[in-house]
Structures are given as structure tokens and as C-alpha cells.
Amino acid sequence: MSTFKIHTLGCGSAKPTLRHQPSSTVIDHRGNLFMVDCGEGAQHAFQRHRLKFSRLGHIFLTHLHGDHVLGLPGLISSLGLGGAGGKMVIHTFADGKRILNRIFNFFSGDLPFEVEFNVIREEEAVILDTPSLTVRTIPLDHRVPAVGFVFEEKPGLRHIKRDMIDFHQVPFSMINRIKGGEDFVKPDGTVIPNVMLTSPPTPPLSYAHISDTAYMPEIAEKIGPVNLLFHETTYLDSHSAEAAQRGHSTARQAAMVARDAGAGALLTGHYSSRYKNDEDFRKEALDIFPNVILNREGLVTPLD
């Protein structure tokens, strides 16, 4: 079972269609849920994915356009009606904190949980650091302040070789230190090198979420070689001039970023309503980059 997976709740753009919901994604990392953007209908999609609201502790907003935010008041109100406790951290710009505070106070009343705002900026910065995961921001080029988010696992411990541990009679109290890389010194002074007792740790996984932005070739280096890159593909290349004017990217441009970043796979999305066949986005991206996943509502994409 995957320990790091991406749930697509909505992958449409601003104009509603019957095929796609507005932007919303949930990252499931070892059972902890992180939402990126919360377009209308996100709470219903969340339930359709059989996700547990009690495991959602952080919501990250890429920018303050309605198709990325307007599902949040309903979600917070529903969490309040459900008696959720604990704390919800919303990572957003200063304007987002000001606006959402007023909305929550007006519509949601006294919530049974704490809403905490972490004010972010258009800068490269680590905005969340947990024992197993970090989240950092990357400035984007859109019509309003916008950032992308990169979720990166921290390196894990080495894996013990049970037969060697038993053979050398390593005491249980030493196991965590051995996993951490220590050699084992026997009572007679014999040193057993760590490489004889363990195997390398599982390589850490990473996911980048790059929503509304004009094409930024320089962003590839800032993203780095992630396992999975979601990069908006609002337009096809035939509308590249309009994409640039509106602060968006084409499928071809997203594939170029994925290629230059050394991503393992590209996940498409944020489709303009003018296009009737989503497969065209995948075909255009495949001309540049070999591993393209065509996004859709209900899709679950494992990283491992």
C-alpha cells in the first residue's frame, strides 16, 4: 500500500463545466492529509474519495482566485458542524488571512476547533517542517501573487538485516542507533560495520504542485528532480499567446518544465473549458516528455 499518494478532487479551471470541478488536490502522506487549494465542491469530492476529515490538518492556497478558494468556507463550516476538534492550519497570503477570517467569523460562528493562519509570501521558503516531511514555496508568475508547493520526504532510517542482527546478538536497545548508522561494538571490542547490519534506507519521495503560472523555464531548477510534478496545463500550444497573457501555461510548456526538472512523471490539469478532449493535453505533452499522466477527478496517483 502506498504511503505517499495524490488524490485529485478537481482539475478544471475557472469556468465551470459538467466534466471538471475547480481546483483541489489532497496529498496523503502516511495517513496525514494535506489539501492544496479548495475550489467549490471540494468537500463533496473529499467524501467521495473516502478520506477522513479528522486526518486533514493543513490547507495550502496557491493564490486567491475564486476557483482555488471558494470551497473553503463550506468546508470549514461543515467541519464545525461535524464537531471536529484540534487545529486547522491554512497557509495563505496576508490578504487571504484577512478575507477568510471575516468570512469564517460571519458564516461559521464559534468553531469547535482552532483555525490558524500561516502567512506566506512570494518567496522560496520552507513553510512547514514535520518529523517526516517538509513543504516549501516557489514563486510563480500569475496575475495575482501565487506560489507553488514542493512536498519532500525527509530521509528515513536504514533497514536492519534481521539475520545479521541476530547473528551478532545486537541488543534491542541498540536497534534505533544501528538504524541511524552507528556501528556495533561487541563486548570484546570487535567492531561490526553498520553496512553489515543494515541496508540503505528507502529513497525519500517528493511531489511538486505548480498551479496557475505563465511558463517559467527557470522554475525547473527550483523544483528539482521530484517523483511527481503537477504542472498546470490550462491551454494547448495553439493558444500559447493567450496563455502568456493570462498567466497560464500550455501542455507543451508543462512538459518542458517536467523534462528540465528531471521529474519522474508529469500530472496534467487545470484544463480550460474551451477544450472538449482532455486526451489532447496528454498527446501534446508526450511530444516533449515520456511519462505523462492525464489527470481527472477521482484519480489517485501513488508516488511509491
Catalytic residues: 67
Cα–Cα dist 127/304, whole Å: 24
Cα–Cα dist 147/93, whole Å: 10
- Residue found under cell 521558503: 125
Pair type for strands 228-231 and 206-210? parallel
Residue 10 contacts residue 45 (beta carbons within 8 Å): yes
Cα–Cα dist 8/243, whole Å: 23
Amino acid at 42: A
CA dihedral 37, 206, 31, 76 (to 10 degrees): -10
Other beta carbons less than 10 A from residue 7's beta carbon: 22
Q: Which of 259, 206, 215 is nearest to 233 (CA)?
A: 215
Residue 136 contacts residue 206 (beta carbons within 8 Å): no
